[in-house]
Amino acid sequence: MKRVGRRAPTASDPWAHLREFTSARIALGRAGSSLPTRALLEFQLAHARARDAVHRVLDVDDFAARLAAEGLSCLTVHSAAADRDTFIARPDLGRVLDEASAARLDAWREQNGARDVALIVADGLSATAVESRAPELLRHVVGQLGALPCTLAPIVVAGQGRVALSDEIGQRLGARIAAIVLGERPGLSSPDSLGIYLTYAPRPGRSNAERNCISNVRPPEGLSYEVAAHRLRHLANEAMRRGLSGVSLKDEAPLLAGIDAPSRVAWRGDAPGD
């Protein structure tokens, strides 16, 4: 007798063991000609988390207060993008300061003088990453940069900021180099990854080819805070010593025993945080 209404069984995938080595969506199996329900729901959840990360708004004042509570001096600024919708629709406005912020930085430099290094943190395309990961990363970064023969400006916390915002900030602070930490464009397996971009002689108009990028700072799945800060210190030191950054400056920092991996990112043309 023919059975009616019997559902096709979920087929196992002989490549399933490969999922142990990557967070990519591979070897998901199938239910008939479609994905299994579990895999489909996991995809939808990851997509929702990525969208939430992009649309989330960083509370700049609260974040600066968190850093100040740890003894880190801060300045707060905002880009010319007045709100998150404008920031997403007008990337150009996220690359320049609003008038009040520009005046604030000019006044600080006039009163305190120029500094060698401008360290900036901005929401970028994932405020989620900044809120959850940036304080710990900044502790390591400040420690590493503080060991160099250079002067640091207060950490600039920027709202609605993209990578190139560091150019104007660095120029207004008279910095020899600008380093910006910001949330990278979320992927379907990484809604909370940080990127660090370093630019020598920052000024508006710099291209991505003139920057160095340390990407995927997201322990334990990605780069650790210790390794990221170690690489930034090396790049900053070499940038000031040689007077350049970007494709002409390679990341040749010595490996940190036990925690570093022999991978290098000198520049990423897709600008994950831009």
Among 120, 117, 146, 151, CA closest to 134: 120
pLDDT of residue 269: 37
| Length of the chain as a residue count | 274
Question: How much is the pTM?
Answer: 0.85
Within a domain: residue 24? no
The segment with the largest mean pLDDT, out of 2-6, 18-22, 143-147, is 143-147
- Residue 249 pLDDT > 90: yes
Within a domain: residue 173? yes
Within a domain: residue 252? no
d(CA 170, CA 77): 13
Which residues 6+ apart lie within 8 Å of 77 measured at CB? 97, 98, 101, 104, 105, 156, 157, 158, 159, 161, 169
pLDDT of residue 152: 95
d(CA 131, CA 141): 16
Within a domain: residue 26? no
Question: Could you report the per-residue pLDDT of 34-69, keeping only the tens digit for each?
Answer: 888 888 888 888 889 889 888 999 999 999 999 999
- Residue 270 pLDDT > 60: no
Within a domain: residue 211? yes
Within a domain: residue 70? yes
Within a domain: residue 148? yes
Q: Rounded to the nearest 5°, which phi and psi values hold at 82?
A: -70, -30
CA distances from 58 to 67, 158, 251, 269 (A): 14, 9, 31, 26
- Residue 266 pLDDT > 70: no
Question: Could you report the per-residue pLDDT of 196-226, keeping only the tens digit for each?
Answer: 999 999 999 999 999 999 999 999 889 999 9
Question: Could you report the per-residue pLDDT of 130-188, keeping only the tens digit for each?
Answer: 999 999 999 999 999 999 999 999 999 999 999 999 999 999 999 999 999 999 999 88
Which residues 6+ apart lie within 8 Å of 119 measured at CB? 138, 141, 142, 145, 152, 153, 155, 156, 179, 180, 181
Q: Provide the domain limits for residue 138.
A: 57-242
| Total domains present in the chain | 1
pLDDT of residue 267: 39
d(CA 245, CA 178): 11
Domain CATH for 69: 3.40.50.11240
Within a domain: residue 256? no
Q: Give the chain as a 3 state SS string.
A: CCCCCCCCCEECCCCHHHHHHCCCCCCCCEECCECCHHHHHHHHHHHHHHHHHHHCCCCHHHHHHHHHHCCCCEEEEEECCCCHHHHHHCHHHHHCECHHHHHHHHHHHHHHCCCCEEEEEEEECCHHHHHHHHHHHHHHHHHHHHCCCCCECCEEEEECCCCCHHHHHHHHCCCCEEEEEEECCCECCECCCEEEEEEECCCCCCCHHHEEEEEEECCCCCECHHHHHHHHHHHHHHHHHHCCCCCCCCCCCCCCCCCCCCCCCCCCCCCCCC
